[in-house]
Amino acid sequence: MSAPAMQVPLLDLKPQYRVLKSEILTALEQVCDSQAFILGPTVKQLEAEVAAYSGCSHGVGMSSGTDALLAALMALGIGAGDGVITTPYTFFATAGTIVRVGARPVFVDIDPGTYNLSISELEKFLNHECKREGATLAHKASGVRLKAIMPVHLYGQMVDMTPLMALATEFGLRVIEDAAQAIGSADGQGRRACSIGDIGCVSFFPTKNLGAFGDAGMCVTNDAQLAAKLAMIRVHGMEPKYYHQLVGGNFRIDALQAAVLVVKLKHLDTWSRARQENACFYFGAFGKAELTRVISLPEALTGARHIYNQFIIRSPKRDALRMYLSARGVGSEIYYPVPLHRQQCFAYLGYAEGAFPESERAAAETVALPIFPELTREQLQYVVDVIAEFYA
């Protein structure tokens, strides 16, 4: 085969860097000149700005999205003997952090259209697989005390939080929003991701919509007491200096990363809009090519703000389609090929194959297409044309 007519990478961060290079290097230079690398004014500024952007009053910068989740679980006092309800169709960190605090991840299947935690499955689970024992809610099968729900706003679209919060209140559960892929997304009432549960966690991993130059993350909350506890957990539970009230960790965000993120945050709305426009182009072009009979496009809830960290299509011929795309210069990725209940390290949880059929089907059929802001119309059309060619 001859060389592809076009190259369309899944993600290219260089065009974004080219535009902001001098501004970012100046910001980095200021931190270097100060030689103050740990916390400090730039971190404070980023925390205030990300909190406000997320509709929250407090932000606590963390070393990664993973550490933000870990600190959130610790701040809510979740540990041995406890269970946390979440989705098996997510990045590993969601369940990995639950296990690291000594608790048990308890999975509930996803909705096949949005790929987010299914509210009807959650309701069924709470009503039929749990029982109240005094003030606690026990998971019948494992015996753990259920303490919290960790919904994941996957691919940049929020979980339907209104019924989720009603269930959380009814059953006495705390809520940690895993908004690693969803900074700035909003629900139908305009409420931002992270502003609804007890604590929201974002990631600034370079491939997220707001990416640092390495690892970084943040917890945001409207609860001043939780914010103070998170700030303490981030520095080994230390307050005042060398007096430890609890056992935390070193979960600090770097001042250098904060400096990069303060520059980038100003552009986040523009980038999210460009991603939405790219998604809109795909919807139109896939429709025009009459491909919606053979592939499923992502379900975007009306009135909500989807920030398209990923644009996911579903095809029963996914693996062959990916090879075809790759041979023609189009990047793609599978998020995620193995649902968490089927991961080797979680075999002890005892979930059989078929336990969560929608998560398993999604893992077998979905593929992410290029959606990053700087893609041209020609590149997007080329992706659609290649997929049309595959099906012709």
Ligand X SMILES: *Cc1c(COP(=O)(O)O)cnc(C)c1O
Nearest approach, Cβ of residue 131 and ligand X (Å)? 30
Nearest approach, Cβ of residue 382 and ligand X (Å)? 27
Nearest approach, Cβ of residue 51 and ligand X (Å)? 18
State the binding string over 241-280 for ligand X (x if CB under 6 A, else -): ----------------------------------------
Out of 90, 222, 310, 359, the only residue in the binding site for ligand X (CB under 6 A) is 90
Residue whose CB is less far from ligand X, 87 or 332 = 87
- Rounded CA gap, 161 and 73, in Å? 19
Per DSSP, what are the bridge partners of residue 314?
296, 366
For residue 221, what are its two tokens? 């909350």
Nearest approach, Cβ of residue 78 and ligand X (Å)? 16
Of the candidate spans 27-35, 58-66, 239-247, 252-260, the one that interacts with ligand X by CB under 6 A turns out to be 58-66
Cβ neighbourhood burial of 140 (10 Å; 0-12, 13-18, 19+): exposed
Counting residues that bind ligand X (by CB under 6 A) gives 15
Out of 54, 94, 221, 310, the only residue in the binding site for ligand X (CB under 6 A) is 94
For residue 375, what are its two tokens? 């893609």
Q: Which of residues 144-183 bind ligand X (CB under 6 A)?
A: 152, 178, 180-181
Residue whose CB is less far from ligand X, 160 or 178 = 178
Q: Give the residue ranges of DSSP H helices in 35-177.
A: 41-53, 65-75, 93-100, 119-128, 161-171
Chain centroid to CA 366: how far?
17
- Rounded CA gap, 85 and 106, in Å? 5
The yes or no reply on residue 66 touching ligand X (CB under 6 A) is yes
Nearest approach, Cβ of residue 59 and ligand X (Å)? 15
Out of 53, 91, 213, 390, the only residue in the binding site for ligand X (CB under 6 A) is 91
Closest CB to ligand X: residue number: 65
Nearest approach, Cβ of residue 210 and ligand X (Å)? 11
Number of residues in the chain: 392
Residue whose CB is less far from ligand X, 286 or 335 = 335
- Rounded CA gap, 54 and 200, in Å? 9
Using DSSP's 3-state secondary structure scheme, residue 38 falls into: strand
Residue 338, amino acid: V
Residue whose CB is less far from ligand X, 64 or 366 = 64
Of the candidate spans 2-10, 59-67, 76-84, 313-321, the one that interacts with ligand X by CB under 6 A turns out to be 59-67
| Burial annotation 111-127 (CB, 10 A radius, 16+ → b, else e) | bbebbbbbbebbbebbe
Q: Which of residues 197-236 bind ligand X (CB under 6 A)?
A: 203, 205, 215, 217
- Cβ atoms < 10 Å from Cβ of 42: 24
Nearest approach, Cβ of residue 296 and ligand X (Å)? 21
- Rounded CA gap, 218 and 391, in Å? 43
Phi and psi torsions of 291, nearest 5°: -90, -10
Nearest approach, Cβ of residue 68 and ligand X (Å)? 8
Nearest approach, Cβ of residue 368 and ligand X (Å)? 12
Q: At what angle do helices 41-53 and 255-265 cross, to 10 degrees?
A: 40
Q: Which of residues 18-37 bind ligand X (CB under 6 A)?
A: none
- Rounded CA gap, 63 and 79, in Å? 21
- Rounded CA gap, 219 and 221, in Å? 7
Residue whose CB is less far from ligand X, 181 or 272 = 181
Give residues in contact with ligand X (CB under 6 A): 64-66, 90-91, 93-94, 152, 178, 180-181, 203, 205, 215, 217
